[in-house]
Amino acid sequence: MLEDKLLVWQFNRGSKDALRHIYEKYKNDLVTLAAALLTDVSSAEDVVHDVFVCFIKSSDRFRLTGSLKGYLATCVANSARNKNKARQKRLSYGLDEADVVSSNPNNPDAAVIFGEELRQLSSALSQLPYEQREVLLLHSYSGLKFRTIAGSLGVSINTVQGRYRYAVDKLRSMLNGEVRK
């Protein structure tokens, strides 16, 4: 990714334009990923915002080892996971009624985040266990390799592949013939 190499090089040297360029280039993909993970657009935007705040602060020490898109997607996934854990904790203590609604897999809002055309898919995604949804989206949407996902999650590659297979099977069964249209 020549463009990203140059942008990161400029970003390391304090270029505001490069940072804006990076944000503009990846913002929609990252919001989409976070929204699909959290089934909530507002929380998704908070996650992307947090990720960019951290990214901005890392300007002088950030080193790109893989793809920039993959790096940012991993950051979003990590932040979304933390948010999801916090949400689950609040749920278990019955502290947050609003979160109870937004994390309900049958919540109609969660199903229509991505519009009518993808209503069934988004509904089905929201019903997958979080760990499976995460692996599926990082691999299929963000293009991360299983090995990379395993590294960022701290689990084995077999576990990641297993979660992916389960996710695909469940989605297929939930969508029935939809994917063949």
Partner 1 sequence: MRPTDDINRLIKKLQLKASADLDRRVRNDINIALAESQKTDSAVTQPNIWRIIMKNPIVKLAVAAVVIIACLIGLSFWRTTGSGIALADVLARMEQVKAFRSQWSQWRTYGEKMTGEDPNKPYSSEARDTWSGTCLISQEYGFKGKIEQLDPNGGESTFTECYLSPDMKTLIIIQPWQKKYRRMELDDGWGERWRQKFDPRTQTKRILEYKYESMGRATIDGIEVEGFRTTDPNYHLIGENDPNIRQVDVKMWVDVKTRLPVRYDITYAWFDQMGDKIIEYGHYVMHDFQWDVPVDAAEFEPVIPDDYTSLVVKYPAHITEETAIQGLKLLVELLGKYPENITDVGATVLRLAEKSETPAAMRLKEEIKGLTDDEIGNKLVDFLMPIRGLAKFYNLLQWDKKDPAYYGKTVTPKDADKVLMRWKVSDNEYRVIYGDLRVETVTPEKLAELEGGLPK
How many CB atoms neighbour CB 105 within 10 A? Answer: 14
Which amino acid, residue 88? Answer: Q
**Per-residue mark of binding to partner 1, 128-147 (x: CB under 8 A):** --------xx--xx------
Query: Residue 91 or 107: which CB sits closer to partner 1?
Result: 107
- When asked if residue 174 is in the footprint of partner 1 (CB under 8 A), the reply is no
Spatial CB neighbours of 70, under 8 Å, sequence gap ≥ 6:
142, 143, 144, 148
| Binder among 39, 43, 108, 118 for partner 1 (CB under 8 A) | 118
Helices 16-38, 41-57: inter-axial angle, 10-degree rounding: 150
Measured distance CA(63)–CA(66) in Å, rounded: 9
Could you list the residues that contact partner 1 (CB under 8 A)? 1-3, 5-10, 12-16, 18-21, 23, 27-28, 30-32, 35-36, 41, 44-45, 48-49, 52-53, 56-57, 59-60, 63-64, 113-114, 117-118, 121-122, 136-137, 140-141, 168, 171-172, 175, 178-180
